[in-house]
Structure 1
Amino acid sequence: MFFSKINGKEKKKIVLLPHIYPDGDALGSSLALLLFLRKLKHDVELISPTEYSDFFKWLPGSKEILVFSETTKYLVEKKIEDSDYIFFVDFNNYSRINPLNKFLLVAKAKKILIDHHPYPFSFDFMFSDPKASATSILVFRLISQMNHLDKIDKKIATCLYLGIMTDTGSFRFPSVTSETHFIAGKLIEKGIDINNIYNHLLYEKYNENKLKLLSKALEKLKVMEKYRTAYTSINSSDIHFYSYKKGDTEGIITYGLGIKNVVFSVFFFEENEGDPIRISFRSRGNFDVNQFARRHFGGGGHKNAAGGTLEKTLFESIEYFLNIIPNYHKNLIFSI
């Protein structure tokens, strides 16, 4: 059984993998696992397949993250090749970790899933619950089931609380349950500084360059009243002009949903000219953006929040989207 092997005295080589462009829950849950498993004396490496937002670099353990790049790819390959266990954290299919696929497909390690997104791929061990409000909730459950709640210190609690807070919209989303608040309360008991966590997220939301990019995105915002849909974009010229840092485009997509009668918001992002276009989807009501993203954009996520990519130009990606939308007219009109 997986738990007993990790809980035993034999030292294991473990690799933790969050998804590409990891968000607060992906980083919070994987950093908490990193700190916890090292307390059990395992040899643990946290590898991010891409760079992540500078606004999360205050998190405990973040300096230990090995970011995949041309410079580190041989080290990353070696870490994966030598591992006994590989944890897939906050995602459930290989498309969400594309730069590392070629290493993972030949890895002999047992593959462990810890995630709360629907429709998971099959892994050697599945710790999956789509009803959980955050993957950080699952990490707390995992530590509890291993009878190690005493090993959750202030650093681990801070990472878990950040993950829960970001993936629940500061405890506002429908996924929040009594368990969510119960676990948050247990983390608070570890002495975390909630005000400090909130202030970091507030800075992430309102720094100067981010507001300038938001202004540019709002300037481009289009509303398709017939389809109750809003969409906008940021291109490589925009981000270079405004001294972009990782994470500066986070939250732009939510503004579309704030418009009266809009139930579907889409954000197209071109970080560098020639890169795949990243697309974010948000919805209100019954319109399932997870299914939409899976069917047309090789992505996925949750019913009301998902993402995907296209190997097209920004213009072609938007045109592709606009050609698809008429097929969902009835779904969007009767979403709420």
Structure 2
Amino acid sequence: MMLDKQTISSFFNQISALDNIVVIPHKDPDGDAIGSSLAWLQVLSDQGLRVTVVCPNELSSNLKWMPGANEIVVYKQQQKQAADILSNANYIILLDFNALTRIGEMKSLVEKSSGKRIMFDHHPFPDAGVADVMVSEPSVSSTCELSFSVMETLGWAVSREAATCLYSGIMTDTGLLNHNSSRPEIYHMVARLVEKEIDKEFIHKKLFYSNSLNRTRLFGHALCNKLEILPSQRVALIALSREELDRFNYTIGDTEGLVNQPLSIEGIDVAALFIEKESGFVKVSFRSRGNLPVNSYSGKYFGGGGHKNAAGGEFNNAPLSEAVNLFKKTVESFLFNTSKTNEEASV
């Protein structure tokens, strides 16, 4: 549940201009993670505070244009510098994740740091002890929406640059307001961000319409050659091997949004994307419509979680084919029986 103004204010009131603040998004950061991180960088810097964003790994190319992105310290590339920054941190802001496993190798550095932590996140079921102060609200669309709400509650000025980052995160996490966007408040918030004179057309072009030729061809290959429909005719899956990714010169972010594509097919209610990141490690993404809880499914079979209609997970120490076979054997009975049970319970 989102904390009250007094609790959040008391945390930030402890911070002085001499303090070192570190902002951390999750590994393989998406638009919401980077958008919220850079927005906090902008807003806190405007307060005269010393702030550094440390990201576990590289950003995808469609996010590097955001204001402040060139200031991000990438742990994978600058490990010593990142370790020094975290060891000297007085305050750490955790964004868009609620379990320290989501920051990979940086987990131990954060745990060793003496800095006080505050978490802003919109995913359900946060791990206990992640932060000293936990601001969690699963009902909101994104961590950017939550962050903007907190900034407004505190009465802090949000610059055009910060608004650009916040708007970007909301658009990416809702798929241009296509999902997780039923609350009227989000539209009022988007209007207030647009009032900051952000360049909406430029943002959309950078986020959604600046694909490389390789990424476009990878999407074409995936949809033409790799899309499978399961017997129920309601579930679709795409599985891409490391060899296939290499064939299309895959870079971070190239498969972003691919899991949503099968949901555009009439009758498809569940979509899954399996990506072989390296030998023995498969990243899995799930999307669904209506009352089909892919977060529960992911938690049970792929050690993951997320939102009811958008979740992710992992499959370790086994080949891609085993992950796909497990999905095929379990997804239809689990999701459709769970949905039926939920519907009966609500009657």
Q: TM-score scaled to structure 2, two decimals?
A: 0.89
User: Is 1:140 aligned with 2:140?
Assistant: no
Aligned to 2:214: 209
Give 1:66-85 correspondences, 5 Å limit: 66-69=73-76, 71-85=77-91
Identity of aligned residues (%): 35
Q: 1:275 & 1:182 partners in 2: Cα distance?
A: 45
Give 1:234-273 correspondences, 5 Å limit: 234-271=240-277, 273=278
User: Is 1:49 aligned with 2:56?
Assistant: yes
User: Is 1:39 aligned with 2:46?
Assistant: yes
User: Is 1:185 aligned with 2:204?
Assistant: no
Give 1:56-71 correspondences, 5 Å limit: 56-69=63-76, 71=77
Q: Is the Cα contact below 8 Å between 1:254 and 1:265 reproduced in 2?
A: yes
- One-letter amino acid matched to 1:143: M
User: Is 1:310 aligned with 2:318?
Assistant: no
Q: 2:182 & 2:72 partners in 1: Cα distance?
A: 29
Q: Is the Cα contact below 8 Å between 1:37 and 1:44 reproduced in 2?
A: yes
Q: 1:295 & 1:212 partners in 2: Cα distance?
A: 33
Match of 1:11 among 3, 18, 22: 18
Unpaired runs of 5+ residues, structure 1, are: none
- One-letter amino acid matched to 2:65: W
Give 1:17-166 correspondences, 5 Å limit: 17-69=24-76, 71-122=77-128, 123-148=131-156, 151-166=157-172
Q: 1:226 & 1:184 partners in 2: Cα distance?
A: 38
Q: Aligned with 2:272: secondary structure?
A: strand
Q: Is the Cα contact below 8 Å between 1:223 and 1:229 reproduced in 2?
A: yes
How far has the Cα of 1:333 moved from its partner? Answer: 7.7
Match of 1:277 among 282, 291, 294: 282
CA-to-aligned-CA distance 1:16-48 (integer Å, 9 cap, x gap) = 111111111111111100111111222211111
Q: 1:245 & 1:175 partners in 2: Cα distance?
A: 29
How far has the Cα of 1:65 moved from its partner? Answer: 0.9
Q: 1:183 & 1:20 partners in 2: Cα distance?
A: 27
Number of residue equivalences: 331
Aligned to 1:175: 181
Q: 2:87 & 2:120 partners in 1: Cα distance?
A: 20
Distance 1:73 1:329, change over 3 A: closer
Q: Is the Cα contact below 8 Å between 2:230 and 2:328 reproduced in 1?
A: no
- One-letter amino acid matched to 1:93: A
How far has the Cα of 1:279 moved from its partner? Answer: 0.5
Q: Is the Cα contact below 8 Å between 2:235 and 2:271 reproduced in 1?
A: yes
Q: CA-atom RMSD, angstroms? A: 2.1
CA-to-aligned-CA distance 1:244-272 (integer Å, 9 cap, x gap) = 2221111211122223322111101123x
Q: TM-score scaled to structure 1, two decimals?
A: 0.92
CA-to-aligned-CA distance 1:62-108 (integer Å, 9 cap, x gap) = 00111111x42222222112111111101111221122112122222
Q: 2:10 & 2:114 partners in 1: Cα distance?
A: 20
- One-letter amino acid matched to 1:262: I
Deviates more, 1:3-12 or 1:97-106: 3-12
Q: 1:167 & 1:289 partners in 2: Cα distance?
A: 16
Q: Is the Cα contact below 8 Å between 1:225 and 1:262 reproduced in 2?
A: no
Aligned to 1:290: 295
CA-to-aligned-CA distance 1:87-138 (integer Å, 9 cap, x gap) = 1101111221122112122222212110111111232101111111111111
- One-letter amino acid matched to 1:13: N
How far has the Cα of 1:277 moved from its partner? Answer: 1.0
